[in-house]
Amino acid sequence: MTQQQIEKDKFKIVGGNHEATDKLADKSISFWKEVFIRFSHNKMAIFGLIALIIIVLMATFVPMFSQYHYSDQLGVYNAPPSSEYWFGTDDLGRDIFVRIWAGARISLLIGITAAVIDLIIGVLWGSISGLAGGRVDNIMMRIADVLTAVPYLLVVIVLLVVLKPGIIPMIIALSITGWINMARIVRGEVLSIKNQEYVLAARTLGAQTGHLILKHLVPNALGAILVTMTLTVPHAIFTESFLSYLGLGVPAPQASWGTMASDGNGAITNAPWRLIFPAVFISLTIFAFNAVGDGLRDALDPKLRK
Amino acid sequence: MIKYILKRLMYILLALFVIVTATFFLLRLAPGNPFASERNFPPQIEEKLNETYGLNNPWYIQYKDYLIDAATFNFGESMKYKARSTNDMIAEGFPVSLTLGIEAMLLAIGFGVLIGVVAALYHNRWPDYLATTVAVLGISVPSFILAGLMQYFLAYKLQLFPISGWKGFSYSLLPALAIAFSHMGFIAKLTRSSMLEQNNSDYVKMARAKGIGKWTVVFRHTLRNALLPVITYLGPLTAGVVTGSFIVEQIFAVPGLGKHFVQSITNRDYTVVMGTTVFYAIILLFAVFIVDILYSVIDPRIKLKGAKK
Amino acid sequence: MNKTILEVKDLRINFKTYAGLVHAVRGVNFDLKEGETLAIVGESGSGKSVTSNALMKLIPQPPGIYESGQILFNGRDLVPLSDKEMSKVRGNEIAMIFQDPMTSLNPTMKVGRQITEVILQHKKVSKADAKKRAIELLTQVGIPFPEKRYNQYPHEFSGGMRQRVVIAIALAADPKLLIADEPTTALDVTIQAQILELMKEIQKNSKTSIIFITHDLGVVANIADRVAVMYAGQIVEYGTVNDIFYNPKHPYTWGLLGSMPDLDNSTDELLRTIPGSPPDLTNPPKGDAFAARNEFAMAIDYEQEPPMFQVSETHFAKTWLLHPDAPKIPLPEAVAKRIEGYLAKEAQQHD
């Protein structure tokens, strides 16, 4: 091996430069920024998010600016999709395109409101149970356990039979058991944070329970709460459609996607587009919320799954 | 173990009690009367009917009678279709729904696991993408909507399957598939992620380090551990199949219990609704119960003492 | 003269990741003789685990890539072998023990079966004979009531016992080479000592060669014949245990030796640590990878990678400090004292 000639002064001691190496380990971005970056790598989640944004925008603006009102009967019955009526018309001559977006408002409203109600009840139940601990916690969780064991769909159906079908009864029926899941998750987060020192410190400084819930527990549990909420909405949309098929949906002339699909199912041989369009949007929305929810969950999970 | 079983049975009874009570009070509050839509009865006959069904008694007497009836499985006669006892209707419809349900569950589990395993083993290659797409579709499209679409495209247009009715095995395929599809998707997703997780675990690496072939490792080691979460899904699966049957049976004109149940709701036929509700509740509660026991048998790490996690 | 059973020549392994191409192993050379124990020491990220997994071709490929080099086991290069061909080697001629006994065993399979599985895979014996051999092995590794234990599940064993089972599995087909990847790291100190004794005994009885991966120099002094010190994917110093402990030449080795905690001596002495963090291997630094953390680094360290300099017949170190033109840096006193103290304590224990 040829020994290359190296200048003698290259062998002068110059020492290390370890601060440069520390800099690498130092690059800290904020937690939520990191979550956002991870989320944006997930193609399905981004696709779902875009789809949701488009749907919400359309639902907001189309009924506002459309030339037809969703309950206008235009005299053209069961017409297939055309340049005049983009999604065709139904058996009462109503334009299905407008009805889809009017129905979107209703279905989304129902789904999101139910999720929000579940959120509120669940957070309250879960945090009180978790903070109180001991017997109170025990009893509250046993109640939740028994309620979970009850097949809720049966109770929901019976409930809707009692209250006349409508938007508000539907929302009530949907939120009736969804909160349990949220309560469990919140309680879990509360338990893991409760005994951490900054909470004890806040307590000794006289912080009240309500203050504690708002300022400390919720921000830390926010991730899990967000994911649960996002995954509750598609379940609500599914159940709303299901109940509509049972004749328990919102009454005419209002329409939700569920009632439109149910009506369309009956006329499928002569006007299949009446089922196809609501079916596509129901499925797309369920998919989108699931994709976003899953994406959020994966993005929040510190154990990177790659 | 015994202590655990007893504890669970107690929970089940409690849950049943809650359901039965809730159903009772809710239906009593319901506007409308089972006889309201009938032809107008002369007042004496209406009186007689009310008396027969105890509708004149104060509510707590009705409740007591009702509880006793429920406990003895005496659900009386259908208010709508006189001379047909609720129990008979259940006995008639249940076997049909049971067949459909079992078919659906086998489809969901069989194909779900298969697709999930294939997806995991060909991770990030085309079989994985295809399988994931199918699974996602399954989860997003509700069973009753799929039923309508399948009926239209596969039965009506392409004439590959009978459109409706229940006259033989081929009549059960589309409805079973419609019910199974979304659960198939979920099971596939669950199996896939479980397999991927197990594939990365140390004992799989250890098995490979022993010189055992790739596929043998999958079938002898990975699969069994990966399927454990799928077993816990069997409870919700049963519930899903039951509720799926409600509408799908209607769409395909399958004379099962689901169809009767839906009709009795529309008809406000109290006795049938109550009877069927209690019946379903019992089935679902026991299904979850059996799954828990099954799980503990299969996973040697689980020891059921009085309290379970 | 003992036969050489393993020769690793210029092994290079990369990983394709999200963040880029990681050069995990950058030209590793060492050999191993029959009946010998080689310890590979280094911190996390040094490439020691990748190297050991690579010997059995257990690196998943993607994302791993065997860039270049040879792994000569009994003269036969393992790198080009197919998975099927490697299956005949794994468990049979080369066996591995993993770090965490909690997760190395299949939780739903009886322990006995996990042992006989290896035997039946590689030897043509009956099931009954395999079972007999398995029970023998359980006894050999020091598990009482082996017949009963044979039918139990992993969760019914304690951590130390589980690791003994793992060792039994590794030995089941009489391998010539045993690779132990930090087998004692997850165990209590007292159990650690037992497992090390067990391994030494096994080696004495069956002449198995052992490659022992660890970050604990105490373990190295206890069990190794020769040592390879790894840093940033390369072996930076290589020699017998005596070479490394009495005459270390690489500043990184000095750092490692100097940072061994000494519970007995002066408590007012600060624990020496090596400042900084290991380099990012997606962009390996140009010269000596250790330069940035080396208080004795020279200008040349930042420009050119040093070659392996020979210190003696058995001892090699990869540092420009051994170049004839480099200043002669003696072993830092603090390090020398540490080593002295440590070896004295060891001697004490073995009296």
pLDDT for A217 equals: 65
Cβ atoms of C329 and C337 closer than 8 Å: no
Residue with the two structure tokens 């210190």:
C311
pLDDT for B293 equals: 83
Residue with the two structure tokens 């009526």:
A85
Strands C64-73 and C234-240: unpaired
Q: Poorest-confidence range of A85-89, A117-121, B189-193, B305-309?
A: B305-309
Task: State the burial class of residue C124 (Cβ atoms within 10 Å of its Cβ: 0-12, 13-18, 19+).
Answer: exposed
Residue with the two structure tokens 């009874």:
B13
Model confidence over C54-97: pLDDT tens digits? 999 998 887 889 989 999 999 899 999 998 999 999 988 999 99
pLDDT for A134 equals: 82
Residue type, C22: V
Model confidence over C109-144: pLDDT tens digits? 999 999 999 999 999 899 999 999 999 999 989 899
Length of chain C: 351
Structure tokens at A5: 């000639």
Strands C177-181 and C94-97: parallel
Cβ atoms of A6 and C301 closer than 8 Å: no
pTM for the full model?
0.81
Question: C172 and chain A: CB distance < 8 Å anywhere?
Answer: no
Question: C107 and chain B: CB distance < 8 Å anywhere?
Answer: yes
- For the question of an ipTM over 0.90, the answer is no
Per-residue burial over A273-293, b = 16 or more CB atoms within 10 Å of its CB, e = otherwise: bbbbbbbbbbbbbbbbbbbbb
Cβ atoms of A150 and A176 closer than 8 Å: no
Structure tokens at C177: 């080479």
Question: A26 and chain C: CB distance < 8 Å anywhere?
Answer: no
Strands C76-77 and C316-317: unpaired
**Which is more confidently placed, A195 or B32?**
A195
Q: Tell whether the model's pLDDT for residue A255 goes beyond 60.
A: yes
Residues of A whose CB is below 8 A from B284: 151
Residue type, B98: L
Q: Which of residues 248-287 of B touch A (CB under 8 A)?
A: 251, 262, 265-266, 268, 273, 277, 280-281, 284-285
Model confidence over C243-300: pLDDT tens digits? 988 889 998 998 888 777 665 555 555 666 777 788 888 888 888 888 888 888 888 8
What DSSP string describes A49-104? HHHHHHHHHHHHHHHHH-SS-TT---S--SPPP-SSSTT-B-TT--BHHHHHHHHH
Chain centroid to CA C147: 33
Q: Tell whether the model's pLDDT for residue A197 goes beyond 70.
A: no
Selected residue of B122, B196, B203, B210 to mutate for chain C interface (largest C Cβ count, 10 A): B210
Selected residue of B144, B151, B274, B277 to mutate for chain A interface (largest A Cβ count, 10 A): B144
C85 → chain B, closest CA residue: B211
Are A14 and C298 within 8 A, CB to CB?
yes
pLDDT for B195 equals: 92
> Phi/psi at A122 (nearest 5 deg)?
-60, -45
Strand, coil or helix: what is C10? Answer: strand
Candidates A29, C341, C86; CA nearest to B214 is C86
Distances (CA, A) of B241 to B99, B100, B175, B292: 11, 9, 11, 18
Q: Tell whether the model's pLDDT for residue C235 goes beyond 90.
A: yes
Are C121 and B203 within 8 A, CB to CB?
no
Omega within 30 of 0 (cis) for the link into B255? no
Gap between the Cα atoms of C81 and C95, Å rounded: 17
Q: How confident is the model at residue A53 (pLDDT cuts 50, 70, 90)?
A: very high
Q: Report the residue from C56, C84, C105 with minimal CB separation from B203.
A: C105
Q: Report the residue from A10, A16, A306 with minimal CB separation from C299.
A: A10
A244 → chain B, closest CA residue: B247
Residue C7 is classified by DSSP as E
Selected residue of A8, A10, A304 to mutate for chain C interface (largest C Cβ count, 10 A): A10
Structure tokens at B59: 């509510």
Q: Tell whether the model's pLDDT for residue A305 goes beyond 70.
A: no
Model confidence over B97-141: pLDDT tens digits? 999 999 999 999 999 999 999 999 888 888 998 998 889 888 999
Average pLDDT over residues C139-165: 91
Are A161 and B268 within 8 A, CB to CB?
yes
Average pLDDT over residues A258-276: 88
Are A16 and C275 within 8 A, CB to CB?
yes
Residues of C whose CB is below 8 A from B206: 96, 98, 104-105, 166, 169
Strands C4-17 and C20-33: antiparallel
Cβ atoms of B207 and B134 closer than 8 Å: no
Q: Residue B20 belongs to what H/E stretch? A: helix B2-29
Quickly list H helices, chain A.
18-26, 31-40, 43-65, 96-132, 134-149, 152-162, 167-194, 197-204, 209-212, 218-245, 257-266, 273-300
